[in-house]
Amino acid sequence: MLTPTGTLVADAAKGGRGLAAFNVITVEHAEAIVAGAERAGLPVILQISQNAVTFHGGRLAPIAAASAAVAEAAGVDVALHLDHVEDAELMRQAPDHRFGSVMYDASTLPYAENVAATREAAEFCHARGLWLESELGEVGGKDGAHAPGVRTDPAEARDYVAATGVDALAVAVGSSHAMTDRTAALDHDLITRLRDAVPVPLVLHGSSGVPDAELAAAVAAGMVKVNVGTALNIAFTGAVRAALADERLVDPRKYLAPARDAMANTVAHFLSVLAPR
């Protein structure tokens, strides 16, 4: 069932669980994410990034409508989130496409400009019932360069949340986007200090590169929303490569079906790590 992001995040925070948000690029991603969540019996977030919208020719409507329909038909609670939005025009489309939340990403701007742009985004989103996430202290890897040395300062994070009014904060604690091996080491002491300093749930980006034990420890230290993208694409592409070893194969369903299954397995695995029973 399509459910507001804020409700799922608040429930996870109350229950001391991590809530996974997986990146959707194709409709098969959305189907796989929901299949994995149904298998685990746990809620999940489908997130569509600005980059994915660009891939779809700059059109938000088709992939958003497909994802919302998949969410609606799900046997578990599923939220729809618009991720890493730098274009305010795109953010303004979110209310028309059934999103429950937006991540407005002004993290590359100087502090004062990040605050001003994010406060405006918060005013827009809150007036329309949307939950807003933003980022302070740039998580590396968005441009292909991994910079795991960057860290979010707890005192600055507290001031930033008060100044912007955001509902959740993405923080730089050692992860980096688009890693294809799981070797990132998180600063768990910093996560605890951020949790104590900041009154809103914390968000971990670049979680594909974080080993299982580190993810579980991050949730125990206070991380709530956990974003995973690349791990699904590793599963997807690996399965496609294996299927295409048969050079007579031409029907895309013959490689998309195993790719979707492989992504569902990855989803179920991450969910079991983040919400151990």
- Please answer whether residues 102 and 137 qualify as being in contact, where contact means their C-beta atoms are separated by less than 8 angstroms: no
222 or 257: CB nearest ligand G3H:
222
Q: Which two tokens stand for residue 18?
A: 């991590």
Binding-site positions for Zn(2+): 84, 105, 135, 177, 205
34 or 231: CB nearest ligand G3H:
231
Closest approach of ligand G3H to the CB of residue 247, in Å: 31
| Residue with the CB atom nearest Zn ion in the bound state | 205
Binding-site positions: 84, 105, 135, 177, 205
Which residues are paired to 19 by β-bridges? Answer: 225
Closest approach of ligand G3H to the CB of residue 206, in Å: 4
Neighbours of 158 (CB within 10 A): 16
Q: Find which of ligand G3H, Zn ion, none residue 178 binds, CB within 5 to 8 Å per kind.
A: ligand G3H
Distance of alpha carbon 21 from alpha carbon 65, whole angstroms: 18
| Spatial CA neighbour of 232 closest among 3, 21, 1 | 21
Q: Find which of Zn ion, ligand G3H, none residue 152 binds, CB within 5 to 8 Å per kind.
A: none
Closest approach of Zn ion to the CB of residue 8, in Å: 18
Binding site for ligand G3H (CB under 6 A): 23, 83-84, 177-179, 205-209, 227-231
Helix axis angle, 27-40 relative to 253-274, nearest 10°? Answer: 40
28 or 135: CB nearest Zn ion:
135
Catalytic hit among 11, 77, 83, 96: 83
108 or 254: CB nearest Zn ion:
108
3 or 227: CB nearest ligand G3H:
227
Q: Find which of ligand G3H, Zn ion, none residue 23 binds, CB within 5 to 8 Å per kind.
A: ligand G3H
Active site (annotated) includes residue 87: no
Closest approach of ligand G3H to the CB of residue 211, in Å: 13
User: Binder to Zn ion among 29, 193, 205, 260 (CB under 5 A)?
Assistant: 205
Q: How many residues bind Zn ion (CB under 5 A)?
A: 2
Q: Find which of Zn ion, ligand G3H, none residue 232 binds, CB within 5 to 8 Å per kind.
A: none
Closest approach of Zn ion to the CB of residue 55, in Å: 16
**Active site amino acids:** 83
> Interface with Zn ion by CB under 5 A: which residues?
205, 227
